[in-house]
Amino acid sequence: MELYELTIHAAAELLQKGEISAIELTEAQLRRIEQVQPQIKAYLHVAADSALKQATAADIRLAAARKGGEMAPPLTGIPLGIKDVLSLAGQPTTCGSRILEGYIPPYTATAVEKLAQAGAVFLGKTNTDEFAMGSSTENSAYFTTHNPWDLDRVPGGSSGGSAAAVAADMAIAALGTDTGGSVRQPAALCGVVGLKPTYGRVSRYGLVAFGSSLDQVGTLTKDVTDAALLLGAIAGYDPHDSTSLPQPVPDYRQALRPDLKGVRVGVPKEYFVEGMQPAVEKAVRAAVEQMVGMGAEACEVSLPHTEYALSVYYLIAPAEASANLARFDGIRYGPLADSGNMWENFRQTRGHGFGPEVKRRIMLGTYALSAGYYDAYYLKAGQVRTLIKQDFERALEEVDVIAVPTTPTTAFKIGERIDDPLAMYLGDIFTLSLNLAGMCGISLPCGFDEQNLPVGLQILGPALGEERILRVAYAYEQATSWHMRKPEL
């Protein structure tokens, strides 16, 4: 096995024992990036020099721990990718947009800072749909990332760069963000594990905002054990984020057990809809049967307001985006059009700086918030959002977790949906309800379709129920071999 193929937990064991060095591991990752970046295009920026400096510091830390008979933190020396909507001091943070071209933040996002304190190595910033608005990474202003399983297909989005990097062994793991499924959907399409924590479980400080009541920093990893390790490192209260939850962080790895005896798994009928790809439904239903064979009990549950989730999301998210993106005017950072007139400068800067999808969502949101329409659209959407949240709460009183498909189809061809926004939005139909409810979910591989493209299984849990979903996901993963299959590059 090549060093770049290691998981976090396997690499950490070798690093702690001194059998490999952080420098060796980082150099292996950088060589791998150099080898496959032209095909995959997962990174917007590769920070080779700073990564090697961090690896050198990690080796010193590991050596000191061994000398003292102690263990360094498990992420010491682990090379990671960071989605380019998370601030990292001294490195470009463009959010996949021309309007932030050349912007280098003076501070680091809390989630990234926690990883730095844990001794992680940052390989660079991964590609994203512009301002995390998209489901395919085709909305990046720079280039489209390609799916490692089929280079003619999308990796999903908006964390497509992070998901593709992990699937192609261009990072041992990566951070992404999830506003309506942007961690779980690309994880499913790329055949990796994507974890969206409870809203407020991970600080949003330093995350460039899209939808402030929906955004959450999440993880993309090669297996469930790594998801538990990475979540444990980034979770926790942060006084810089007013929505951060003041709750203790458990040792998530302790929740990982290989059996499902006594676990009640809910299967909602609303998530198996007409138009789903048959291979997806077959793989997910087979996964539920597998869990039953491991001692779980499967029960049908109902989430009756699911049909309204797409409409609700595409009122609330664009409305919040409209407010959040008003700050991008070219005055403080990014390129500024200079026409000699202040208002014309604003118009030209935003007109040229934002891409078509971002403009579409700003206009949708501005309209929904405008006088005469606020009550009819935004206020009503907020009321239905409450009903969707209550659906989940009621269902999760009857069962421990809910099992559903992550996406209605496997990865689609690049360019296939770019001119059809509704078809693109429908790709998130199984993920965005969870963001509206503020609860947690994880996607992991559960099979492949006839074209050898991965299928994702989604395990959903209540607020602060990460231990539950990790336990179920881990038990299923250990009983199957889907996560061990690799794309041929």
Give the Cα separation of 329 and 41 in Å (integer). 29
Helix (H/G/I), strand (E/B), else coil: 304: helix
Residue 234 lies in a domain: yes
Q: Looking at 97, 140, 158, 162, which residue is catalytic?
A: 158
Q: What is the phi/psi pair of residue 58, to 5°? A: -65, -40
- Cα 363 to chain centroid, rounded: 25
User: Can 182 be counted among the known catalytic residues?
Assistant: yes
Residue 239 lies in a domain: yes
Q: Tell which residue, 32, 46, 59, has the closest CA to residue 122.
A: 46
Is residue 456 within 8 Å of residue 406, measured between CB atoms? yes
Query: Nearest 5 degrees, angle CA 319-CA 320-CA 324?
Result: 125
pLDDT tens, the chain, 489 aa long: 899 999 999 999 999 999 999 999 999 999 999 999 999 999 999 999 999 999 999 999 999 999 999 999 999 999 999 999 999 999 999 999 999 999 999 999 999 999 999 999 999 999 999 999 999 999 999 999 999 999 999 999 999 999 999 999 999 999 999 999 999 999 999 999 999 999 999 999 999 999 999 999 999 999 999 999 999 999 999 999 999 999 999 999 999 999 999 999 999 999 998 889 999 999 999 999 999 999 999 999 999 999 999 999 999 999 999 999 999 988 887 788 887 787 888 888 888 889 999 999 999 999 999 888 888 899 999 999 999 999 999 999 999 999 999 999 999 999 999 989 888 998 899 999 999 999 999 999 999 999 999 999 999 999 999 999 999 999 999 999 999 999 999
| Residue where the block lists tokens 């190595």 | 121
Q: Looking at 135, 182, 203, 433, which residue is catalytic?
A: 182
Give the Cα separation of 440 and 464 in Å (integer). 7
User: Can 83 be counted among the known catalytic residues?
Assistant: yes
Residue 291 lies in a domain: no
Give the Cα separation of 89 and 97 in Å (integer). 18
Q: Quick one: 241 exposed, middle or buried, by C-beta within 10 A (0-12, 13-18, 19+)? A: middle
Residue 336 lies in a domain: no
Residue 215 maps to which CATH number? 3.90.1300.10
Domain region containing 132:
3-255
Q: Tell which residue, 253, 291, 309, 270, has the closest CA to residue 425.
A: 309
Please count the structural domains in the chain. Answer: 1
Is residue 99 within 8 Å of residue 336, measured between CB atoms? no
Residue 445 lies in a domain: no
Give the Cα separation of 410 and 230 in Å (integer). 26
Residue 32 lies in a domain: yes
Q: Looking at 41, 83, 114, 222, which residue is catalytic?
A: 83
User: Can 311 be counted among the known catalytic residues?
Assistant: no
